[in-house]
Amino acid sequence: VWETSADTAARVGEIQQPTLVISGENDAIVPVDDSRRLLAELPNAELVILPACGHVPQEECPNAFEGAVEAWLAR
């Protein structure tokens, strides 16, 4: 399915909307370095790395996840 889709990764830098990137410190599926690369491509992004959290932070660390989202939305 991905082979037939447009190359969206090449267009990430076109996203101008404020974006919150949340990464779990212990994510073995999408490492923090991948989130840092995404952050570098997004012109209006902020990265929050949740300590002692894995790939599904909204379930593994719900309080930290919700706090990060609430703080970001309050700006």
φ/ψ (deg, to 5) at 20: -105, 120
φ/ψ (deg, to 5) at 70: -60, -45
> What whole-number distance in Å separates Cα of residue 44 and Cα of residue 63?
25
pLDDT for residue 9: 80
Question: Going along the chain, which residue ranges are E strands?
Answer: 19-24, 45-50
Q: Which CATH class is domain 2-73?
A: alpha beta
What rounded mean pLDDT belongs to the chain? Answer: 93
Q: Where are the domains of the chain?
A: 2-73
Active-site hit among 21, 38, 54, 55: 55
Q: Is the pLDDT of residue 7 over 80?
A: no
> What pLDDT band is residue 1 in, cutting at 50, 70 and 90?
very low
Q: Are 2 and 29 in contact (CB under 8 A)?
A: no
Q: Which 8-state DSSP code applies to residue 61? A: S
pLDDT for residue 2: 53
**Per-residue model confidence as pLDDT tens digits over 15-51:** 999 999 999 999 999 999 999 999 999 999 999 999 9
Q: Is 55 a catalytic residue?
A: yes
What is the pLDDT averaged over residues 5-12?
A: 78
